[in-house]
A and B are shown apart, each in its own frame.
Chain A
Amino acid sequence: MLRFRNTFTDGVGFDTVLVMLALGYLVVFSAYPLVYNIIMSFQEVDLFSLASFDRPFVGLDNYRDVLGRPEAWTIFLNTVKFVGISVAAQLTIGFGLAMFFQLDFPGNSWLRGLFLAGWIMPALVVGAVWSWILAGDFGVLNHALLSLGLTSERIFWLSDPDMALYSVIIANIWLGVPFNMILLSVGLAGIPEDIYEAAEMDGATRVQRFFTITLPMMRAQLGAVISLGTIFTLQQFDLFAALTQGGPSNASNVFQYWSWQLSFQYYEIGVGSVISVLMILFVILVAAIYVRSTRAEHVA
């Protein structure tokens, strides 16, 4: 009996309990919804059959239906643009700022703290703020551009189909930069100073030092930031809800928002599930890259 108890306080039993706890959590809160979602994508589902499994299977009909819709291609391209531009810009600006804050100057930590403000705020609040900035008739940005004489006419950031997606991207970049900056700052702080000193003595220029020391040493962090950034960007929903609702005419719609619209605005839950299954597949791919890049970190 004592041995039985001992294994739970200090032994294999304890380890097993810990593993089971984590595993149980994953099964209930990750695997189950994931599998449920995949099953729904092959079924005809509406609001009232959500709770039961007893629904007609329709094979690949949902997939054919949603991918055959004329707006699917536009929305796919929008998603690619949204993720690509957002991640690239967040990374560049975040990296730049991280390097800037490596320098020692007065007010450094204060300023760096301020940069985090955007990250701390809920995305819906950020969305509301940006919708004031970007509003066409009374927006702050238009007012500034007009007063500075940079444009002669108002730009309808949110309702012009050629601008709407880029407006959301701008807001999203702003939202994501602090996260990139913090993660990359940590990486930069981990590069030993003496390597730079040695390189400097050998006559390496700043640019050379950046490309031969900083970038290679930051590989793991960059991989992590890019894959996490991609995942976060694919999850970005609130900004779309607050700024454009995917409009006008799907000009700024992306997969994650479309999936929600299909499921909860038009109650085509099976079709909405198809989109999330496709997104999950892509995210798994990105996550695999992330895991690989963090594994490299451990080896190093």
Chain B
Amino acid sequence: MKRLALGCSALVTLATAATAQSVELDLWTIDDPGEYHYVLAEEYMQANPDVKINVRTVQFRDMVNDLARGMATGESPDITYIDNPEVALFASRGLLLDLTPYIEASDIVNKEDIFPGPLSSVTYEGGIYGLPRGANTIALYYNADKFREAGLDPDNPPQTWAELYETAKALTTDDTYGLAFSAVATEEGTFQFLPWLQMTGGDFDNLQTEGAVEALALWKSFIDDGLASPDTLIRSQWDSTGTFNAGAAAMSISGPWELPRMSKEAGFDFRAAMLPIPTADAERASALGEGDNVILANTDNPDEAFAFVEFLYANMDRVWNEFGYLPAANVEVSDPDYPEIYAVFEESMKYARNRGPHPEWPKISQAIQGAIQSSLTGQAAPADALDRAQSQIDKVLD
């Protein structure tokens, strides 16, 4: 049996030698066949017959664990998808290839074109460890029909937090909540809350702002005053927006990934507006989602791997219409689907800020989730909850 296996591998070696310089690249992705990585890998192989790309699907929630295990056992891929906040974790361990020299030599990738949020997500201590494949952010979806029913002007969606509260209140009826959002105790909760904090001058390393207390108090009042469902505490963004699509909520805070389902399920005039800000002159902020194409430091074919990652980047203008996320760089999108909503998200993207970067982001995120959940359940006053989270985060940052 062993001899047979040896014989086979010898044959394989021969065969590879015969086809001359043919390169195999292993690519891990969270996509399923028919989505981004599968489609583009196929196109790339058509154009470059000497390169073979083996695409493997890994569940989103398993990606970090599987990568760590793969690296420990030497079975890691050459290229992989990593979610934004995880880049720092892998980069800090020297597990990712620093792309800076490749980008400098590249005619296609221009660092200045990448939006600041996405660029920050792939940057760690001066190196650039990946290229964003796209981006997403959040905005306020609203049901224009319900606006009209409630006597509100659908062309004039809420701009500030106070207006958001008033609008949600006006839209709340016996069978409809004014607003749907997600305060769930996962990364999604942090993702939804961080922009509110950043608009008030805070960030993950500075939670104790007056604005943060105000934001949590506002979130609490949405739930306590019946403008949002108490299940907001345990619902993902996808589930929350499901209630919006079903007409059980008049507004919903979520991202562009909702649009395919919304256009099928929501039988009403849905629109989007930028995330409301604390006061009319406050700075804007928005969340930054999606992930990056990174090359692992131990790859045998860094040049070929970069050529493929570069190709992925060059197709950034297609991601909105074909794959459902936003470009992470300044590219021209011709004839975008849902043009008005696209314009809102495109504008929001300019204010999208990275989560972190920090190699121990999950612990920081957990502290923030704790503050959100203990405030909204009334177990702690917002200010105390934020103090506690801050001390937890300080321990991580030291």
Contact B373 A247 (CB under 8 A): yes
B10 contacts across to A, CB distance below 8 A:
none
The 8 A CB mask of B13-56 against A (1 = contact, 0 = none) is: 00000000000000000000000000000000000000000000
> What is the chain B residue whose CB lies nearest that of A266?
B362
B231 CB–A CB distance under 8 Å: yes
Using a CB–CB cutoff of 8 Å, the interface residues on chain B facing chain A are: 64-65, 68-69, 71-73, 93, 95, 184-186, 229-234, 243, 248, 360, 362-363, 366, 370, 373-374, 376-377, 379
Cα-based distance from A177 to B68 in the complex (angstroms): 40
> What is the chain B residue whose CB lies nearest that of A71?
B370
Cα-based distance from A52 to B366 in the complex (angstroms): 27
- Shortest C-beta distance, B350 to chain A (Å), equals 31
Pairs of residues from A and B, 6 with the lowest C-beta to C-beta distance, nearest first: A51-B72, A249-B373, A47-B68, A248-B233, A156-B230, A136-B231
Cα-based distance from A266 to B392 in the complex (angstroms): 13
Given A47-B64, A51-B73, A137-B231: A248 and B186 interface contact (C-beta under 8 Å):
no
B95 contacts across to A, CB distance below 8 A:
48
Contact A265 B362 (CB under 8 A): yes
- Shortest C-beta distance, A138 to chain B (Å), equals 8
Cα-based distance from A50 to B65 in the complex (angstroms): 10
A224 CB–B CB distance under 8 Å: no
Interface centre among B68, B186, B377, B379 (most CB of A within 10 A): B377
> What is the chain B residue whose CB lies nearest that of A264?
B65
Contact A159 B233 (CB under 8 A): yes
A-B contact pairs, 19 of them (CB 8 A): A48-B68, A48-B71, A48-B95, A50-B68, A136-B230, A137-B243, A156-B229, A156-B231, A159-B232, A160-B230, A244-B234, A245-B184, A248-B234, A248-B376, A248-B377, A249-B185, A250-B373, A266-B363, A267-B362
B71 contacts across to A, CB distance below 8 A:
48
**A247 in complex: contacting residue of B72, B73, B233, B248, CB < 8 Å:** B233
Q: Which A residues from 211 to 249 make CB contacts under 8 A with B?
A: 244-249
> What is the chain B residue whose CB lies nearest that of A52?
B72
Cα-based distance from A265 to B361 in the complex (angstroms): 11
Task: Beyond the given A48-B95, A159-B229, A159-B230, please list 17 additional residue pairs across the A-B interface where CB-CB is below 8 A.
Answer: A48-B93, A51-B73, A52-B72, A136-B229, A137-B243, A158-B234, A159-B232, A160-B230, A161-B377, A245-B185, A247-B373, A248-B376, A249-B376, A249-B379, A267-B360, A267-B362, A268-B363
Cα-based distance from A160 to B229 in the complex (angstroms): 11
A158 contacts across to B, CB distance below 8 A:
231, 234
- Shortest C-beta distance, B59 to chain A (Å), equals 12
Contact A50 B72 (CB under 8 A): yes
Contact B234 A249 (CB under 8 A): no
- Shortest C-beta distance, A16 to chain B (Å), equals 27
Given A245-B234, A266-B366: A51 and B377 interface contact (C-beta under 8 Å):
no
Cα-based distance from A266 to B64 in the complex (angstroms): 11
A181 CB–B CB distance under 8 Å: no
Cα-based distance from A138 to B377 in the complex (angstroms): 21
Contact A245 B362 (CB under 8 A): no
A245 contacts across to B, CB distance below 8 A:
184-186, 234
Cα-based distance from A138 to B246 in the complex (angstroms): 11
B376 contacts across to A, CB distance below 8 A:
248-249
Cα-based distance from A156 to B226 in the complex (angstroms): 13
A91 CB–B CB distance under 8 Å: no
Q: Which A residues from 131 to 151 make CB contacts under 8 A with B?
A: 135-138
Q: What does DSSP make chain A's interface, helix, strand, loop or mixed?
A: loop
> What is the chain B residue whose CB lies nearest that of A131?
B234
Cα-based distance from A161 to B362 in the complex (angstroms): 24
> What is the chain A residue whose CB lies nearest that of B378?
A161
B362 contacts across to A, CB distance below 8 A:
265-267
- Shortest C-beta distance, B233 to chain A (Å), equals 4
> What is the chain A residue whose CB lies nearest that of B246?
A138
Contact A248 B185 (CB under 8 A): yes
A251 CB–B CB distance under 8 Å: yes
Cα-based distance from A137 to B172 in the complex (angstroms): 14
Cα-based distance from A143 to B231 in the complex (angstroms): 16
- Shortest C-beta distance, A250 to chain B (Å), equals 8
> What is the chain B residue whose CB lies nearest that of A51?
B72
**A135 in complex: contacting residue of B65, B231, B232, CB < 8 Å:** B231
B65 contacts across to A, CB distance below 8 A:
47, 264
- Shortest C-beta distance, A36 to chain B (Å), equals 14
B185 contacts across to A, CB distance below 8 A:
245-249
**A48 in complex: contacting residue of B72, B231, B232, B370, CB < 8 Å:** B72
B184 contacts across to A, CB distance below 8 A:
245, 247
The 8 A CB mask of A248-288 against B (1 = contact, 0 = none) is: 11110000000000001111100000000000000000000
> What is the chain A residue whose CB lies nearest that of B249?
A137
Contact B377 A249 (CB under 8 A): yes
Cα-based distance from A250 to B363 in the complex (angstroms): 15
Cα-based distance from A48 to B68 in the complex (angstroms): 6
A48 contacts across to B, CB distance below 8 A:
68, 71-72, 93, 95
Contact B373 A248 (CB under 8 A): yes
- Shortest C-beta distance, A123 to chain B (Å), equals 18
Cα-based distance from A100 to B64 in the complex (angstroms): 51
> What is the chain A residue whose CB lies nearest that of B73?
A51
> What is the chain B residue whose CB lies nearest that of A263?
B65
**A251 in complex: contacting residue of B72, B360, B363, B377, CB < 8 Å:** B377
Given A47-B64, A245-B186, A248-B185: A137 and B229 interface contact (C-beta under 8 Å):
yes
